[in-house]
Amino acid sequence: MISLLFALMTVAILLAWRDRWRLSFFVFGITLVLSIYWLDFHATTPLTIRL
């Protein structure tokens, strides 16, 4: 999942360099939403550690 976030951020940067600002902001927004979801998932999921 984290590699998808890096890939999407790279796409957003490349689109911004090519002056495709609206599409770049859209991809960045998707990346931001997915990042918040992923943070929430890791912060609220209990660890299953058995010793």
pLDDT in tens, the chain (51 residues): 789 999 999 999 999 999 999 999 999 999 999 999 999 998 998 888 888
Does some domain include residue 36? Answer: yes
**Residue 44 to residue 42: CA distance in whole angstroms:** 6
Structure tokens of 28?
């960045």
Q: At CB < 8 A and 24+ separation, what contacts does 29-36 make? A: 31/5, 34/1, 34/4, 34/5, 34/8, 35/5
Does some domain include residue 8? Answer: yes
Q: Please report the pLDDT score of residue 46 as a whole number.
A: 87
Number of domains in the chain: 1
Does some domain include residue 11? Answer: yes
Host domain of residue 38: 2-44
Question: What is the pTM assigned to this prediction?
Answer: 0.81
